Amino acid sequence: WCIFEIAAFLHSRPKGKPGLQIVPPLLGPMLVGALMLIWAGCMAYTFIEAAVTSSEDSMLVGVYHLPVGGTMGLLFLSFVTHALRAYARSVDMLQKQLSKFKVEHTKSACCEAGHEENDSLCDRAIIFQSIAAWYGSLDSFELQVQSGVRTAVIDQLVFRALSYQRVLFVTTPYIWFELEYSARQVGDPILQIVELVQGFTYALAIFPMMDKLVFRLCYRWRERCCRRYLDWLLSMAIVILAFLFYIAVYTIQLYVFRQTERPVVLSVISMFLWWTVAAVLWRIT
């Protein structure tokens, strides 16, 4: 019956009006969980940095926590990608069901419970009559569901689920972390500007591209493997690929745009270049 409601909504919208917007129920908890994970990662980085730059014993503590924190982050992010792949499979199943939608397969509570002798009203019959009056025939409605409704629903659940605004919401702790880190460089205003520009480069361009990459890989590799451990390894491989992408970007930033001469100019150029790349990739994917 939700399909009937969605189809009726789309049918009633004139051209040029705002279209359908679908938000998966688990998207909110997932965004909050990702935000908390980034916050915890920023706090862990601050602790490790403070330990490494202090005494020798504290340095050993920081070096010990680095692989432990990295392993825990890899496992947790693998669990997230595993859940995203399961979500992609459910969306793919929904797409297949909508492509074969038939009104004759629908059910109603009154028909399932059985009609009483004096009960001449049937929800299913009334809805079918309304559909026929609105669309002309049930076949026209089925065609609309299999084409227009299916396209709108899949577009919202796949291409619109991970919007740029939602990614920025998740990276909010990192932005505050960069603001705090830049403020600590009070004795070097040039370094303050460079760190601030680099922070906005990562928060507004590089991290959104990483999130988009992970989401696309989860949807492309959504099929479950024949073995459970292989399925988990595939989810872990997606995280590793995203990490390799980060290493590649970090290397470019370090050896191309972090030179000792004119650091502010190079950082600003880097920021606008990555913003442009992110905007183009976000539009075409």
- Is the Cα dihedral 62, 68, 73, 76 positive or negative? negative
Judge whether 116 lies within some domain: no
Q: What is the pLDDT of residues 129-146, one digit of tens each?
A: 888 888 888 888 889 888
Please tell me the predicted confidence (pLDDT) of residue 230: 92
Question: Can you give the pTM of this predicted structure?
Answer: 0.82
**pLDDT of amino acid 79:** 87
Determine the structural domain holding residue 203 and report its residue range. 1-14+23-106+122-284
Asked whether residue 275 carries a pLDDT value surpassing 60, the answer given is yes
DSSP state of 118: T
**Count of CB atoms within 10 A of residue 2's CB?**
7
Region 268-277: what's the mean pLDDT? 91
Task: Choose the weakest-confidence range: 29-33, 117-121, 192-196, 219-223.
Answer: 117-121
25: amino acid identity, one letter: P
Contacts of 58 (CB under 8 A, 6+ apart): 50, 51, 52
Residue 252 within a domain = yes
pLDDT of residue 93: 93
> Cα–Cα distance between 285 and 278 in angstroms, integer?
10
- Mean pLDDT, range 223-241, rounded to an integer: 91
Q: 113 in a domain, yes or no?
A: no
Comparing CA positions, the residue from 205, 155, 150, 152 lying closest to residue 175 is 205
Residue 184 lies in a domain: yes
Please state the rounded mean pLDDT for residues 30-57.
Answer: 75
Per residue in 155-183, pLDDT (tens digit) is 888 888 888 988 999 999 999 888 888 88
- The pLDDT-based confidence of 63 (bands split at 50, 70, 90) is low
Mean pLDDT of the chain: 83
**Distance of CA 227 to CAs 77, 88, 237, 267, 276, Å?**
20, 19, 15, 46, 41
Estimate the share of the chain in helix, then strand, then coil, as percent rounded to the nearest 5: 80, 0, 20
pLDDT greater than 60 at residue 42: yes
Looking at per-residue confidence, does 69 or 30 come out higher?
30
- The total domain count for the chain is 1
Residue 111 in domain: no
- Taking Cα atoms as reference points, which of 101, 89, 80, 88 lies closest to residue 35? 80
Beta-sheet strands, E only, within the chain: none
Q: What is the Cα–Cα distance from 168 to 81, expressed in whole angstroms?
A: 19
* pLDDT reading at 61 higher than 60: no
Residue 149 has pLDDT above 90, yes or no: no
Q: Considering the domain boundaries, does residue 114 fall inside one?
A: no
233 against 254, higher pLDDT:
233
The string of DSSP codes covering 171-199 is THHHHHHHHHHHHH-TT-HHHHHHHHHHH
Q: Is 185 among the domain residues?
A: yes
Per-residue pLDDT reduced to its tens digit, 114-123: 666 556 677 7
